[in-house]
């Protein structure tokens, strides 16, 4: 498995080696040893989620309060999504920056989103099926969000799907009403860079 760090420090793209024959394809989409070597600590699996999305659906930008926040290891089993990680850590040298990874059923890449970062994706075709391994369980009172269409962040969402047809962004009411990055900072909703690093240090110990 090939590992590449994204422009947002700590976030990783993981590309598996695939083995195909006339029966189909086999791959290893998660490896505890590869993960621990790349990240510096084991992955604690607390919950596994799956979402199925129509073309144009945007989910996110989501994050959980630190501590314990929630690390995510994400892949797309069917269809295709543009996956986005955003640095929302106040005081980070890369605050407000973002990077993308195409997750699909061809390259079968995965993305690792560590604690303290924002995560979102856009479905590029109907039925796109995304699986998430999560390091902490869903906790409604600790879940937060930033509007994925915030022009200050400026995510370049695709305008056409994998089939070449135009995409119309579709958000949940909660994501539509989420604050901008600046508003979230003013409200004290965002984690600080120092707090995230301090928490991650406890995992590396």
Are 80 and 124 a contacting pair, CB within 8 Å? Answer: yes
- The two tokens of residue 173 are 């009411």
| Integer angstrom CA distances of residue 76 from 34, 40, 107, 182 | 19, 25, 10, 31
Number of residues that this document lists for the chain? 205
Q: Which of 73, 112, 132, 138 is catalytic?
A: 132
61 cis-preceded (ω within 30 degrees of 0): yes
CA 13 remoteness from chain centre: 10
Active-site residue flag, 112: no
d(CA 193, CA 37): 23
CA dihedral over 157, 159, 164, 165, signed as positive or negative: positive
Annotated active-site residue in 35, 41, 62, 112: 62
List, in sequence order, the alpha helices (H) in 74-192: 173-176, 181-186
CA distance 184 to 141: 16
Catalytic-residue membership of 138: no
- Catalytic center residues: 62, 132
């Amino acid at each position: 498995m090939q590992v590449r760090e994204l422009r947002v420090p700590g976030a990783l793209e993981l590309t598996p080696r695939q083995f195909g024959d006339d029966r189909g394809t086999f791959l290893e989409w998660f490896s505890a040893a590869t993960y621990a070597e790349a990240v510096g600590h084991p992955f604690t699996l607390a919950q596994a989620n799956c979402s199925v999305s129509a073309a144009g659906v945007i989910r996110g930008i989501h994050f959980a309060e630190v501590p314990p926040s929630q690390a995510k290891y994400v892949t797309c089993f069917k269809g295709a999504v543009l996956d986005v990680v955003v640095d929302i850590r106040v005081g980070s040298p890369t605050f407000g920056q973002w990077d993308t990874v195409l997750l699909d059923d061809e390259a079968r890449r995965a993305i690792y989103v560590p604690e303290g970062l924002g995560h979102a994706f856009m479905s590029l075709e109907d039925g796109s099926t995304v699986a998430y391994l999560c390091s902490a369980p869903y906790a409604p009172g600790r879940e937060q969000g930033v509007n994925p269409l915030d022009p200050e962040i400026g995510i370049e969402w695709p305008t056409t799907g994998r089939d070449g047809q135009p995409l119309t962004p579709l958000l949940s009411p909660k994501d539509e009403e989420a604050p901008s990055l600046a508003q979230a900072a003013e409200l004290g909703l965002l984690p600080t860079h120092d707090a995230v690093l301090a928490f991650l240090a406890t995992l590396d110990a």
